[in-house]
Amino acid sequence: MNQKEVSELRRRFRPDKNAISRIYGCYVNGGGEIVSELDESLGTMPQEEAEKYLSLLKKALSGTLGKNLIDIVFSTRQVADSPEHRLLSDLRHSGLKDRSLRQAFYQRVIGSLDLEGNYLLLLAGDEYDVPRRGTDDALQPGDEVFSYFVCCVCPVKNGRNELGYFPGENEFHSCAAAQIV
């Protein structure tokens, strides 16, 4: 991918531009065990929550190519015979809907990471076509539809104590924020 293509994907992670229907993921504890799974419709969740998920996905594509975003080149043999490539291709073709493929992917990612503490794996898939300009300079649908998915590894940290207002008591008290992604 080049910087223009990455920028195009980043622009899609906005509430008014995305075509992501579901967010998938799992919450992993410090021992590498899946504690909880996530399978949520982006369209039915509150707008503020949806924007937070989209923001996390957008952050996964931040940085510059070659520095924060690294292009991993696969040899022809790796692509043709690799179980990893088959898993990624099957996930993309299923639109992330196949739970057993997602489970296998989670296990591969968890097994390859060496992170301390809890983290959240987020997955989202999308399809789009790149519009083209017609002879009348109007935008027309593109000839090709591209499908992709993004995976984010989000560390989860403990929140700090805050001062919060309790309306029932009409007082302020110390309260601890839960875990923050």
Alpha carbon distance 11, 19 (integer Å): 12
| Close Cβ partners of 84 (under 8 Å, ≥ 6 residues apart) | 108
Helix (H, G, I), strand (E, B) or coil at 17: coil
Residue 180 clears pLDDT 70, i.e. is over it? yes
Q: What percent of the chain has pLDDT over 70?
A: 91
Reported as a pLDDT band with limits 50, 70 and 90, residue 26 is very high
The single-letter code of the amino acid at 116 is E
Q: State pLDDT tens for residues 107-160.
A: 999 998 888 899 999 999 888 777 777 777 777 777 777 888 888 898 888 777
Prediction pTM value: 0.79
- Over residues 71-119, the pLDDT tens digits come to 667 677 777 778 888 888 899 889 999 999 999 999 999 998 888 899 9
Integer Cα distance of 181 and 119 in angstroms: 8
Q: DSSP 3-state helix, strand, coil percentages of the chain (rounded to 5)? A: 30, 35, 35
What's the CA gap between 172 and 166, in Å, rounded? Answer: 6
CA distances from 77 to 59, 80, 92, 112 (A): 32, 5, 20, 21
Top-ranked range on mean pLDDT: pick from 23-27, 41-45, 131-135: 23-27
pLDDT, residue 145, reads 79
- Residues 127, 133, 137, CA angle at the centre, nearest 5°? 145
